[in-house]
Amino acid sequence: MSLQALTAEGLTAFMRPAATVMEASRLGCLYPYPLSFMRSLLRRVMKQNWQITPEILSLNDGGYGHAVYEIKTARAVFSYVIFAKNLEASSRSDRVIAEDWDMTVTLCEGKLDELRLAKLKANVPLQEKGRVDTSCFVLSRANKSVRNFEAVVARLAAGEQPDLDEMAKVGYLYRTTAVYGSGKFGMADWDKVKSRWPDFCSPFDAEMFSCWMIRHFSLAQADYVAARRAPETAVKMDDKIKRYVGIGNATGLGMAPYLINHPLLINNWIEVRETALARVLSSGVADDSSRGNFKCLILKAMQHLDEISTDNEDQNKLNANARKDIGEALEWFEGRTVSNWNEVIDYATSNLSIEAQELLNVILLELYPDLITDLESRLSVDEVYSLKGNMKAKALKSLIETHYDWALNIDYSDPKTQGIFWYRSEEKMEPRLGQRFEEPGAGSEMLLGIGWYVCECYRELLAYIEAQGPEALTARFVFEHPQHRYISRRMQTMAKTRYGEIRINAIDLDVLPIQLLRCKLSFFGVGKFDPRSRMWVRNTMFQGAPLVSDIGKNMDDTWCFPIRPDAA
Amino acid sequence: MTSTAELYLSLNELRALMRRTYEALYHHGYDFAVMARSCLWLEAHGLDGIGLILRSLPDLETPCRDIELFDLTPNHFKVEGRGRCLIPFVNAAADLAIAAAQDSGIGTIDILNVFGRLNIFSALKKSARLNLYAAAIWYDAGEKRTHILWLKSSKELPDYYILNETHQGPWGESGLRFVCAESAETVTQNVRAVLSEDVVPHKTGAQFSAAYEGALEGGIAVSRETYAQLNEIADRLLVPATDASRMGAGE
């Protein structure tokens, strides 16, 4: 969204400043919101009444084999192909470096004939070691939560519904461990996907759809295996419980470089989100109805936080504090008649943790879908980082001082501020962190410490200005200092945006990559964060979401803050 | 899908491979991202970007810090390339002419004693994005042919002319001239000095565009041998795994 568009909407005064919004510590507290990709996708699937039908279900009694679902939209036909196998426990790993999985899948254009299916069967289960063609645009895999899957099947086979206490702890039957798109392994490029298949033209539409279908198959497989195991007694899982079952996900360091390498896209996502909030604050009328909904959503969010199960003490504290804070916000809210939502924002800013502030922002956004849902069409952006060679050196200097002050304020003479380097491991090129002054490999460091490159460029620019004068051109500076061409064009491009870069020193000894992971996952729509270290997190997708069988029914888009069905 | 002879890489896949290849060659000493995009554009538009790199590899293995820049006038530059491959510095060199064109209406750079001159292609694409007109002209002494890339009015891609005749200019036998201007006429004058009106393009901008669409639709064919050769370079970036490196990244 352009600055002009925001001004035209009269929203500028309601937009939060970049210095507040782009701090990694705040981005690491974001929650899913109504424009999160999986929410947007399912609104479209439901509204457009997509037809999803099993064309092939070739499974044995254990639920192993292959399945092909046909997806008919108003514009096109697609096939979703699943290969399910019996995986030895010793082979089951959620790491990128794994080589075998319980389920492997792909989403591709058109109907499949036997030849195409055979080729997919030969390649999709291999994942990174296989090759597909440009008719495919998602490649993914998932592993069973064996204990939960078996417990659910056993209950269904015995004619009982799943144990909700157990389901509340885990929340899924399968976990995805990687979801590839954008041309990986021979698949269609993003440019082709968005131009050729408009049904999947928003960022990560196809990837989110694939995860939703994995969830669908996991539920269908549980019903199927239970029915085969005990045909006389088995029951199908109740739809209310099915909706409570999500799809697990394990996300590691691999996702973090994406946010740093796509600053224009991330700026755009943030700007859309902040614009939505600004619209609510400027136009959302606080009346009896919206005030009532606000209170209901706070209660639901509190229940949701209560039900999150994680062994991570820090996350438990964050959740408990957020719950306490929004509880206090509710008390404060009930003690007055709020007539303007800015009062809530002011109260939260002065009294609550960042986690609770962002939670209340999401609750406000949930109140006014009509004010914000049109923004979902603005999430995509063409990323061009072009050097403006005729910018004078003094202007580049000024630009850095204005827009990258956060980087200039990092004291890189302190070894701690560059204590980490990111590198690609020889194991499947998995991104990893190394200790710069203790481990080998810093010579192969990935270009992710943006602040450091900014400072180096600034230092040499000052010397260049001293030697050549302030009128010298950027083109001349980068010709003579080619190592600064990349960062110069990046800075020139990002200085034109409202929010700019994520403010993180990614090479600090104490860097928390998990903040970046949670930021991106919140845009996906993922919740129930369960950090396993500062570098990877388990989470749950699509919990509370409509089912494939709900297509065609009148479903409200109200599945935020999922809670157990008996408490709903 | 899989074949023994060749792989079909998506554009994104090739770009990622080229980024890692250049990063492995120069680490962050050059703008490896734009170098990769330049190669991708050549390949995707049917101009054998990968072949150009493979032929240039012996030269690319060493940084080209010894090139020299001269100001002939405030908007006319000369680079002495000392027989090096153009790839590492082509975009930065073109930046000078483009900046001059933006500031004073025209910018020219003569790049002498280089090879891999087709890599100038990306500079014409950038000129188009900035609503400038541009041309690149060079003479290939080995082939005794003159090459012209000409970005004409209202085009996003240049037309490519190859003349079976000698047109040695100030750029010599192994150099090129890149001229960029706000006005179409200025560029036309430069081109018409070597190109008569009756010559038809070897490839038109429309043909380049069709080649790109084809690459986007079906991928780019790369021999397994070439793929392995590029990966061998790119893999220099990979760091050996240790138990310590695995800790904390997952389970």
The pairing of beta strand A246-251 with beta strand A172-180: parallel
**Is B61 at the interface with chain A, CB within 8 A?**
no
The ipTM (two decimal places) reads 0.95
Which comes out higher in pLDDT, residue A507 or A90? A507
Best to test chain B binding among A390, A444, A488 (most B CBs inside 10 Å): A390
Are residues B29 and A479, on separate chains, in Cβ contact within 8 Å? no
Residue B115 in tokens: 């090879």
Confidence bin at A394 (pLDDT 50/70/90): very high
Are residues B245 and A123, on separate chains, in Cβ contact within 8 Å? no
Average pLDDT of the segment spanning A2-15? 71
* Residue recorded with tokens 């090759």: A131
Q: What percent of chain B has pLDDT over 70?
A: 96
Q: What pLDDT was estimated at residue B176?
A: 95
Are residues A430 and B249, on separate chains, in Cβ contact within 8 Å? yes
Q: What pLDDT was estimated at residue A567?
A: 56
Are residues A483 and B28, on separate chains, in Cβ contact within 8 Å? yes
Of A183, A441, A535, the CB nearest to B239: A441
Q: What is the per-residue DSSP string for A302-363?
A: HHHHHH---S-HHHHHHHHHHHHHHHHHHHHHHTS---STHHHHHHHHHHS-HHHHHHHHHH
Best to test chain A binding among B23, B28, B227 (most A CBs inside 10 Å): B28
Residue B46 burial (10 A CB sphere; 0-12, 13-18, 19+): middle
Q: What pLDDT was estimated at residue A321?
A: 96
| CB < 8 Å to B108, chain A | none
What is the least distance, in Å, from the CA of B196 to any CA of chain A? 33
CA B57/CA B25 separation, integer angstroms: 10
CA B9/CA A186 separation, integer angstroms: 5
Residue ranges of the alpha helices (H) in A28-143?
Answer: 37-47, 114-123
pLDDT at A92 over 90: no
Are residues B12 and A190, on separate chains, in Cβ contact within 8 Å? yes
Nearest CA in chain B to A434: B245
CA A470/CA A472 separation, integer angstroms: 6
pLDDT at B80 over 50: yes
Q: Each residue of A237-294: pLDDT tens digit?
A: 999 999 999 999 988 888 899 999 999 999 999 999 999 999 999 999 999 999 999 9
pLDDT at B251 over 60: no
The pairing of beta strand A103-109 with beta strand A136-144: antiparallel
| CB < 8 Å to B98, chain A | 389-390, 475
Please say whether the beta carbons of A399 and A292 come within 8 A.
no
CA A543/CA B82 separation, integer angstroms: 63
Confidence bin at A163 (pLDDT 50/70/90): very high
pLDDT at A4 over 60: no
CA A379/CA A205 separation, integer angstroms: 11
Of B8, B237, B248, the CB nearest to A133: B8
Are residues B239 and A434, on separate chains, in Cβ contact within 8 Å? yes
Helix (H, G, I), strand (E, B) or coil at B190: helix
Of B88, B129, B218, the CB nearest to A386: B129
| CB < 8 Å to A263, chain B | none
Are residues B12 and A192, on separate chains, in Cβ contact within 8 Å? no
Of A184, A191, A475, the CB nearest to B95: A475
Q: Each residue of B169-226: pLDDT tens digit?
A: 888 889 999 999 999 999 999 999 999 999 999 999 999 999 999 999 999 999 999 9
pLDDT at A1 over 70: no
CA A64/CA A54 separation, integer angstroms: 15
What is the least distance, in Å, from the CA of A281 to any CA of chain B? 38
Q: What is the mean pLDDT of chain A?
A: 95
Q: What pLDDT was estimated at residue A2?
A: 53
Average pLDDT of the segment spanning B109-137? 95
Residue B125 in tokens: 């694409």
Are residues A424 and B217, on separate chains, in Cβ contact within 8 Å? no
pLDDT at B244 over 80: no
Question: Would you tell me how many other CB atoms lie within 10 Å of the CB of residue A535?
Answer: 22
Confidence bin at B135 (pLDDT 50/70/90): very high
Nearest CA in chain B to A441: B239
| CB < 8 Å to A123, chain B | 1-2
Confidence bin at A127 (pLDDT 50/70/90): very high
Q: What pLDDT was estimated at residue A462?
A: 98
Of B1, B29, B96, the CB nearest to A133: B1
CA B16/CA B33 separation, integer angstroms: 9
CA neighbours closer than 13 Å in the CB half-sphere of residue B35: 32
Q: What pLDDT was estimated at residue A238?
A: 97
Specify the DSSP class assigned to residue B7: E
Q: How far is CA B12 from CA A64, A112, A128, A289, in A?
A: 34, 25, 15, 49
Q: What pLDDT was estimated at residue B172?
A: 83
B 84-123: CB under 8 A from A: 88-89, 91-93, 95-96, 98-100, 102-103
Nearest CA in chain B to A488: B31
Q: What pLDDT was estimated at residue B166?
A: 80
Q: What percent of chain A has pLDDT over 70?
A: 98
Phi, psi values for residue B20, rounded to 5°: -70, -35
Q: Each residue of A497-541: pLDDT tens digit?
A: 999 999 999 999 999 999 999 999 999 999 889 998 888 888 999
pLDDT at A6 over 70: no
Helix (H, G, I), strand (E, B) or coil at A531: strand
Of B28, B239, B250, the CB nearest to A423: B239
Nearest CA in chain A to B246: A432
Confidence bin at B138 (pLDDT 50/70/90): very high
Confidence bin at B3 (pLDDT 50/70/90): very low
Q: Each residue of A44-69: pLDDT tens digit?
A: 999 999 999 999 999 999 999 999 99
Question: Would you tell me how many other CB atoms lie within 10 Å of the CB of residue B2?
Answer: 16
pLDDT at B84 over 70: yes
Best to test chain B binding among A426, A509, A530 (most B CBs inside 10 Å): A426
Q: Each residue of A283-312: pLDDT tens digit?
A: 999 999 999 999 999 999 999 999 998 888
Please say whether the beta carbons of A101 and A127 come within 8 A.
yes
Q: Each residue of A296-355: pLDDT tens digit?
A: 999 999 999 999 988 889 889 999 999 999 999 999 999 999 999 999 999 999 999 999
**Is B218 at the interface with chain A, CB within 8 A?**
yes
Q: What pLDDT was estimated at residue A419?
A: 97
